[in-house]
C-alpha cells in the first residue's frame, strides 16, 4: 500500500489540499461549467480558499446539472478543461435514471483511472503474477474498461471476457487458469449457477479472488459468503462511478470499503440538510476527485448512501472506512410501515438461504407508505423460515411468494431486483 494509506489524518488533509489547489489552478481558467458555478458563490481567481474545510463553501455538483449542461451545450457540455482534441476516451452512463451522460477522459485522467483501479487490486492482494478475467460485455460503460486498464497497470495478464455467453466465459476462465474474476456480484452468482447446471464445479477452479462492483453485494455479509462459497475464493468489493472515478476498495478485513483518500475527498452529509453526519451515522457520500482534471467532479452528490465508520481499521489504513460499503441509493430507501428498508438489507437476509437462487422485491403504495412483497425462487417448505428471519431483521411481516425456478430475470450488469409498482403521481421520492 502507499505511505499515505496509513498516514495521519493531518498529512492526508495536507495532501488533499495541495492536490485540490493545483487542480483548481488548472480547471478555473478554462472550464466554463465550474467557472460559472464558482463565480456565482464568489470563488474566483485568485483562489479565495485557505484551507481544506473551505471546500464546504463550494456549491454541490449534481448529475442532473451535468445532464442539463450537456443538453444545453451538446455533445459534451461545458465541464471540459481542455479542447476536445485533448481527450482520448469517451464513455457514458447507463441512462437507467435518465438521459445518459457522456464523459471524456484525457490520457492523463485515463492513467489516473488505471492508478485508482490498481489500488483496488493491490488491496485485494492481487499482483502481477495473477491472471485477471473480466466477465463483462465491453460496451460504452466505463467500469470494466477501467478495471482492464488497472490490471494492465498492475502488470497482470488481463483477459477481456466480452462477446461470450456464460458457458463460454466459464470455459475460458478454466482454460487460461484465471486467478481473479471481476464482475458484478449478481453475475458471479449467476455464473456459479450456470456452472452447476453444466456440471462444472467452480470451487475447483484456479480463481482465488473475486472483485465486484456495480451494485451492493460484496459488502453484504450473506451475499459475500455465498459468492465465496460458490467460487472457493475471497471476495472483495469496489465502488466507483462514471462521473467520479474508482473511489472505494475493500481491504483484508472485508468489512466494507475504504475511500481512496489519496485521489478523492469524501464528505458524508445528511441528504436533507447537507450537514456532515457523525461517526457511525449514515448519509450521502459527496466526493471530489483529485486527478481527473479534464472533466472534474467537485463536491459531487453521488446519491450513494454510506455509513461513516471512522478512520481506524485492523488493516492499518487510516483512510475513511464505510462499513457495509454502499448501502444503497439515497432514493432507493423504502419506508414500510415506518421502518426504513434498504434493498441491500433484504439481500442480506435472503442470501443466507442457499436454496434461494433469485428473488424480486415488489413495491406498491399504501397511502403515503411503501408496501413490499417478495417473490423468491426456492422450495415452498423454506418460506416460513424466510419469513421468520425477515421478521427478526425488520420487525415486519413481509409477504413471500414462491415462484418457479428460473422464472425471475438474471443480470450481467446492475441487477434490478426492485420492481417499483408505485403510482407515479404518488410519493415524491421516486423521481427517476
Which residues contact Zn ion (rule: CB under 5 A)? Answer: 251, 253, 313, 315, 317
- For 384, the grid coordinates are 416460513
Name residue 402's beta-bridge partners: 376
Query: 253 vs 340, which CB is nearer to Zn ion?
Result: 253
Helical axes 221-231 vs 343-350, angle rounded to 10°: 50
Of 367, 344, 346, whose CA–CA distance to 422 is shortest? 367
Question: What is the closest distance, in whole angstroms, from the C-beta atom of residue 20 to Zn ion in the complex?
Answer: 24
Query: 311 vs 411, which CB is nearer to Zn ion?
Result: 311
Query: 211 vs 251, which CB is nearer to Zn ion?
Result: 251
Question: What is the closest distance, in whole angstroms, from the C-beta atom of residue 379 to Zn ion in the complex?
Answer: 38
Angstrom distances, CA of residue 210 to CA of 32, 123, 156, 257: 41, 12, 15, 15
- For 300, the grid coordinates are 459531487
Question: What is the closest distance, in whole angstroms, from the C-beta atom of residue 265 to Zn ion in the complex?
Answer: 19
Question: What is the closest distance, in whole angstroms, from the C-beta atom of residue 251 to Zn ion in the complex?
Answer: 3
Of 161, 165, 164, whose CA–CA distance to 147 is shortest? 161
Sequence-ordered strand ranges (E) for 255-399:
256-259, 264-269, 282-289, 300-307, 321-323, 328-329, 334-336, 339-341, 358-366, 369-377
Query: 187 vs 264, which CB is nearer to Zn ion?
Result: 264
Query: 305 vs 322, which CB is nearer to Zn ion?
Result: 322
Question: What is the closest distance, in whole angstroms, from the C-beta atom of residue 247 to Zn ion in the complex?
Answer: 15
Place of cell 453521488: 302
Query: 216 vs 256, which CB is nearer to Zn ion?
Result: 256
Question: What is the closest distance, in whole angstroms, from the C-beta atom of residue 85 to Zn ion in the complex?
Answer: 42
Query: 310 vs 409, which CB is nearer to Zn ion?
Result: 310
Angstrom distances, CA of residue 106 to CA of 27, 183, 293, 335: 14, 26, 9, 43
Query: 205 vs 254, which CB is nearer to Zn ion?
Result: 254
How far is Cα of residue 421 from the mean position of the Cα atoms in its chain? 25
Question: What is the closest distance, in whole angstroms, from the C-beta atom of residue 323 to Zn ion in the complex?
Answer: 10
Question: What is the closest distance, in whole angstroms, from the C-beta atom of residue 312 to Zn ion in the complex?
Answer: 9
Question: What is the closest distance, in whole angstroms, from the C-beta atom of residue 309 to Zn ion in the complex?
Answer: 10
Q: Over the range 254-290, which residues count as b (16 or more CB within 10 Å of their CB) and which as e?
A: bbbbbbbbbbbbbbbbebeeeeebeeeebbbbbbbbb
CA dihedral over 194, 197, 202, 203, signed as positive or negative: positive
Question: What is the closest distance, in whole angstroms, from the C-beta atom of residue 254 to Zn ion in the complex?
Answer: 9
Cβ atoms 173, 165 nearer than 8 A: no
Query: 134 vs 315, which CB is nearer to Zn ion?
Result: 315
Query: 3 vs 404, which CB is nearer to Zn ion?
Result: 3
CB atoms within 10 A of CB 350: 23
Whole-angstrom distance, CA of residue 423 vs CA of residue 432: 13
Question: What is the closest distance, in whole angstroms, from the C-beta atom of residue 129 to Zn ion in the complex?
Answer: 23
What is the dihedral angle through the alpha carbons of 412, 418, 424, 428, rounded to the nearest 10 degrees?
Answer: -110
Whole-angstrom distance, CA of residue 239 vs CA of residue 62: 18
Query: 62 vs 252, which CB is nearer to Zn ion?
Result: 252
Whole-angstrom distance, CA of residue 35 vs CA of residue 132: 41
Whole-angstrom distance, CA of residue 135 vs CA of residue 112: 23
How far is Cα of residue 302 from the mean position of the Cα atoms in its chain? 10
Question: What is the DSSP pairing of strand 339-341 with strand 334-336?
Answer: antiparallel
Place of cell 458524508: 268
Amino acid at each position: 500500500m502507499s505511505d499515505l494509506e496509513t498516514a495521519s489524518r493531518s498529512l492526508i488533509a495536507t495532501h488533499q489540499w495541495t492536490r485540490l489547489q493545483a487542480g483548481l489552478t488548472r480547471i478555473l481558467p478554462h472550464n466554463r461549467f465550474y467557472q460559472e458555478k464558482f463565480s456565482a458563490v464568489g470563488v474566483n481567481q485568485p483562489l479565495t480558499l485557505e484551507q481544506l474545510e473551505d471546500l464546504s463553501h463550494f456549491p454541490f455538483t449534481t448529475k442532473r446539472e451535468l445532464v442539463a449542461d450537456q443538453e444545453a451545450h451538446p455533445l459534451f457540455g461545458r465541464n471540459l478543461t481542455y479542447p476536445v482534441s485533448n481527450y482520448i476516451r469517451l464513455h457514458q452512463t447507463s441512462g437507467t435514471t435518465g438521459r445518459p451522460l457522456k464523459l471524456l477522459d484525457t490520457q492523463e485522467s485515463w492513467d489516473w483511472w488505471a492508478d485508482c483501479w490498481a489500488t483496488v487490486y493491490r488491496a485485494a492482494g492481487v499482483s502481477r503474477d495473477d491472471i485477471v478475467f473480466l466477465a463483462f460485455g465491453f460496451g460504452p460503460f466505463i467500469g470494466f474498461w477501467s478495471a482492464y486498464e488497472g490490471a494492465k497497470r498492475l502488470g497482470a495478464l488481463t483477459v477481456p471476457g466480452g462477446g461470450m455467453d456464460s458457458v463460454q466465459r466459464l470455459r475460458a476462465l478454466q482454460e487460461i487458469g484465471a486467478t481473479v474474476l471481476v464482475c458484478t456480484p449478481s453475475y458471479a452468482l449467476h455464473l456459479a449457477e450456470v456452472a452447476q447446471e453444466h456440471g462444472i464445479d467452480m470451487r475447483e477452479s484456479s480463481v482465488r479472488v473475486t472483485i465486484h462492483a456495480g451494485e451492493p453485494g460484496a459488502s453484504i455479509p450473506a451475499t459475500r459468503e455465498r459468492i465465496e462459497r460458490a467460487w472457493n475464493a475471497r471476495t472483495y468489493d469496489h465502488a466507483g462511478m462514471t462521473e467520479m472515478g474508482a473511489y472505494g476498495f475493500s481491504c483484508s478485513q472485508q468489512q466494507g470499503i475504504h475511500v481512496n483518500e489519496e485521489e478523492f475527498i469524501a464528505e458524508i452529509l445528511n441528504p436533507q440538510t447537507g450537514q456532515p453526519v457523525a461517526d457511525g451515522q449514515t448519509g450521502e457520500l459527496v466526493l471530489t476527485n483529485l486527478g481527473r482534471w479534464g472533466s472534474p467532479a467537485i463536491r459531487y452528490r453521488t446519491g450513494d448512501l454510506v455509513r461513516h465508520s471512522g478512520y481506524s481499521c485492523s488493516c492499518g489504513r487510516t483512510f475513511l472506512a464505510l462499513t457495509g460499503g454502499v448501502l444503497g441509493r439515497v432514493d432507493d430507501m423504502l419506508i414500510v410501515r415506518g421502518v426504513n428498508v434498504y434493498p441491500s438489507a433484504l439481500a442480506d437476509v435472503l442470501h443466507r438461504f442457499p436454496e434461494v437462487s433469485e428473488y424480486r422485491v415488489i413495491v406498491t403504495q399504501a397511502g403515503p407508505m411503501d408496501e413490499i412483497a417478495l417473490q423468491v425462487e426456492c422450495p415452498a417448505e423454506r418460506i416460513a423460515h424466510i419469513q421468520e428471519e425477515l421478521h427478526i431483521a425488520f420487525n415486519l411481516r413481509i409477504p413471500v411468494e414462491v415462484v418457479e425456478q428460473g422464472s425471475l430475470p438474471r443480470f450481467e450488469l446492475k441487477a434490478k431486483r426492485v420492481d417499483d409498482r408505485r403510482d407515479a403521481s404518488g410519493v415524491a421520492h421516486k423521481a427517476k
